[in-house]
Amino acid sequence: MTPKERAAAAAKAMWTDDGASKWLGMTLIEVDEGYAVMQLTVKQHHCNGHGMCHGGITFSLADSCFAFACNSRNQATVAQHNTISYTAPGRMGDTLRAEAREVSLAGRSGIYDVRVSNQHNQTIAEFRGLSRVISGTLFDEED
């Protein structure tokens, strides 16, 4: 199994039970080893009292994308610490795209950067996620 095939199988296994990402309206676009892309179209129910995409929605998109990237090796992996900086508002009707890239992987700990941008490639937020491998896998691999 190639790393890309493993990432796709891990993503398929995760997506099956990922009610939160589906419920929020996210779509998984691409996965590879240490990499993922997701998107979400901002609807009225994603907006706050200022008419902007709620920061929690933007965070959730980045966090979900981070999860698919850091679980791409079929090792159960969870978030250890996350931070986000918002640089511009998302607006109703925007298509937000999150792109997660692995920065470092050492033993059970990983660092991932996620850029959230809109359909005009304007950066909306920058997210950094620190991951931790726990016991278990997402799917059974044949030897």
Residue spans of beta strands (DSSP E) within the chain: 26-32, 35-41, 77-86, 95-106, 109-117, 123-133
Residues linked to residue 105 through DSSP beta bridges, in sequence order? 110
Sheet holding 109-117, edge to edge: 26-32, 35-41, 95-106, 109-117, 123-133, 77-86
pTM, full prediction: 0.95
Instruction: Write down the CATH superfamily of domain 3-133.
Output: Hotdog Thioesterase (3.10.129.10)
Per-residue pLDDT tens digits for 70-107: 999 999 999 999 999 999 999 999 999 999 999 999 99
Residue spans of the domains in the chain: they are 3-133
Q: How far apart are CA 7 and CA 79, in angstroms?
A: 18
Residues linked to residue 101 through DSSP beta bridges, in sequence order? 35, 113
